[in-house]
């Protein structure tokens, strides 16, 4: 079977607000779409294949009451 007729889904990074899989999606979203619909969005320049991992959540609350780390104080 030719690869053009391959069934399945892939993850795509949305580059511009559009409608995909009968839902409104915003730029920056990572959505899982059927391959044929994803390829058409890539052709229009509204999406690209998603390569990578989910962003690791970082804790920037250093020094706050709920923080796990304590503030380092400099010597005088």
Pairing of strands 47-49, 30-34: unpaired
H or E element in which residue 37 lies: helix 35-44
Each residue of 3-54: pLDDT tens digit? 444 579 999 999 999 999 899 999 999 999 999 999 999 999 999 999 877 6
Q: Could you tell me if 41 and 63 are in contact, meaning their C-beta atoms sit under 8 angstroms apart?
A: no
Q: What is the pTM of this model?
A: 0.59
Is residue 71 very low, low, confident or very high in pLDDT (cuts 50, 70, 90)?
Answer: low
């Amino acid at each position: 079977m030719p690869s053009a007729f391959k069934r399945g889904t892939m993850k795509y990074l949305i580059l511009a607000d559009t409608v995909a899989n009968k839902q409104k999606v915003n730029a920056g979203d990572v959505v899982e779409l059927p391959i044929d619909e994803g390829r058409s969005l890539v052709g229009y320049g509204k999406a690209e294949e998603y390569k990578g991992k989910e962003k690791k959540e970082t804790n920037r609350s250093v020094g706050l009451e709920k923080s796990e780390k304590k503030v380092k104080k400099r010597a005088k």
